Structure 1
Amino acid sequence: MSTVLIVGGDQIDGLKKIVSKYGHHDIEHWSGRKAGDHHKKIPQNTELVVLVTSWINHSFTYAIKRAASKRQLKIVYATNLTHAREHLMKQLGQDSAVLSGCRKTLQPFIVV
């Protein structure tokens, strides 16, 4: 099973709901503000990285971006959690192959 890695933010329940709606339930979250987060490696089975950039510093953003691009992972950038929800829904709606197990026809839903 592949993982979605969300980096940044504290209250990510809305993002988790969006990813779950597209059939993916293995979600890892790094707040990006703990000292140990800067030394973590992206899990091997990760398919998508969501970067909430307003919650993490520039050097950590760059490190995650570089590591993800080396592995040719899809990345969704957002400045805050509201934008992250919008960008994630747009990305998943446009590219149904982003996550394994996505349905070909996607039904609209509302995230509260």
Structure 2
Amino acid sequence: MSSILVIGGDRLGNIIELLQGQGFKDIHHVTGRKSSQTGVKIPAGIHMILVLTDFVNHNLAKTVKSQAKDRELPIVFCKRSCSAIAKAFDLTA
């Protein structure tokens, strides 16, 4: 099974079940709300990153995108809704 890092959103709610249905066993979440979280470091063992664009600031998204590129990790940007996430995974699969 894979690990995913979700950035953005205060709570994930049904998104957790959706991600588990996509095969992600370990789901790590960073809200991105606190200014101290702009320096987020991607934990070891992460296989993919999901950025919820309507809940993160531009600097955090840029930092995470750069880290993902350096580590050659797939990254998906989409809005915080199950339908948007499902569509994004269909496009990247």
- Return the TM-score normalized by structure 1: 0.71
Q: 5+ unaligned residues in a row in structure 2: which ranges?
A: none
TM-score between the two structures when normalised by the length of structure 2:
0.84
RMSD of equivalent CA atoms: 1.8
Report percent identity of matched pairs: 27
Q: Which whole-Å deviations, capped at 9, do the CAs of 1:20-78 have from their partners, x for residues lacking one?
A: 11332210000101233222310111111001111111111100000001111011111
Q: Measure how far apart 1:10 and its partner are.
A: 2.0
Secondary structure at 2:6's aligned position in 1?
A: strand
Q: Which structure 1 segments of 5+ residues have no match?
A: 96-112
Give the aligned partner of residue 36 of structure 2. 36
Structure 1 residue 19: Cα displacement: 1.5
Q: 1:87 maps to what in 2?
A: 88
Matched residues, number: 91
SS at match of 1:62: helix
Higher strand share: 2
Structure 1 ranges of 4+ moved more than 6 A: none
Q: What letter matches 2:88 in structure 1?
A: H
Once residues 85 and 36 of structure 1 are traced to their aligned partners in structure 2, the CA distance between those partners, rounded to angstroms, is 30
